[in-house]
Structure 1
Amino acid sequence: MNEDYIDIILADDDEDDRLFFTDAFEELKITTKVSTYNDGVYLMDYLNSEEIILPNVLFLDLNMPRKSGMECLREIRANDKFKDIAVAIYSTSASEEDIEKTFVYGANIYIKKPDNFKKLKKVLSEVVTINWQYHTNGLNKEIFLLRL
């Protein structure tokens, strides 16, 4: 973990969503390093490679080709190497089933993708400034779904 900045990864197959995400962080006054991956296979290849700096927060889109966000989440939570990564599900889906499954599989927070740039900046600012040590201790469903 780097103390000078918040290391963030987004895995999302939608190019526009990746662009809005990185643009939002550029406008926020939070020191971050943002990396993006366009599918779950590339993400997991990166995370499983040797001598990488693990991200502080990983944003996972659920619906990606080749390997879904749900599959990535299960792999990440099954590997002790990744126990300190905060996983934020970042999806267009608001289905109760998806929310329930990601909660059970160990995601830290569920975010429905905002429909405009201003809301996106607000959501991302809130997520990266959460005290994850407190937030992940005694995880409960009331704080799991981020509602704005």
Structure 2
Amino acid sequence: MSTKLLNIALADDDEDDRMLFSEAIEDISIRTKLSLFNHGQELMDYLNLPNVILPNLIFLDLNMPIKNGMQCLKEIRQNPDLKDLCIAIYSTSSSERDIEETFLNGANIYLNKPNNFGKLQDSVERILQLNWQYHTSNLNKDTFLFRI
């Protein structure tokens, strides 16, 4: 087990989803620090703070008020200081249009919100274990959509 701490951010407007995600992260073998945000604007305000410790991976819900996940994704990819962050789309949407649009706008992986806690835990752990440097250099539609 690695002693390195992974800095993870989750932006999701659903309180239950944030709680389940937080519990799933607590129960896996990877050491993490999780920062939770209620909507995309909260996340972007945090990412743009001076001297902020940037997350190793951001989980973005697509459908949020104030600033949605797609707006955050585009803003992050256009910002020279943030453009290399790893971004996992974490959404209930399984729409081909949403998957295609997030892929084209630079997300690294797309995870449909699992329908039970065990699948959520397994999915999050597997995503955190990915070798992101390898994963992003070989990114294609087959590796983009994370299947449980």
- TM-score when scaled to structure 2? 0.96
- Helix, strand or coil at the partner of 2:137: coil
AA of the residue aligned to 2:7: D
CA contact (8 A) 2:10 2:34 kept: yes
Measure the CA separation in 1 of the matches of 2:126 and 2:82: 22
Aligned to 2:78: 78
* 1:123, distance to aligned residue in structure 2 (A): 0.4
CA contact (8 A) 2:77 2:84 kept: no
* 1:146, distance to aligned residue in structure 2 (A): 0.3
| CA RMSD in angstroms, aligned pairs only | 0.9
User: Which runs of 5 or more structure 1 residues have no equivalent in the other structure?
Assistant: none
Measure the CA separation in 1 of the matches of 2:4 and 2:51: 19
Measure the CA separation in 1 of the matches of 2:6 and 2:62: 23
- Helix, strand or coil at the partner of 1:50: coil
Aligned to 1:41: 41
Measure the CA separation in 2 of the matches of 1:12 and 1:62: 8
Aligned to 2:26: 26
CA contact (8 A) 1:56 1:86 kept: yes
- Helix, strand or coil at the partner of 2:73: helix
Measure the CA separation in 2 of the matches of 1:83 and 1:14: 26
- Helix, strand or coil at the partner of 1:80: coil
Aligned to 1:98: 98
Aligned to 2:136: 136
AA of the residue aligned to 1:147: R
Measure the CA separation in 1 of the matches of 2:55 and 2:71: 18
CA contact (8 A) 2:89 2:110 kept: yes
The count of corresponding residues between Structure 1 and Structure 2 is: 146
Render the CA deviation track for 1:103-128: whole Å, top value 9, x for unaligned: 00000000000000000000000111
CA contact (8 A) 1:61 1:89 kept: yes
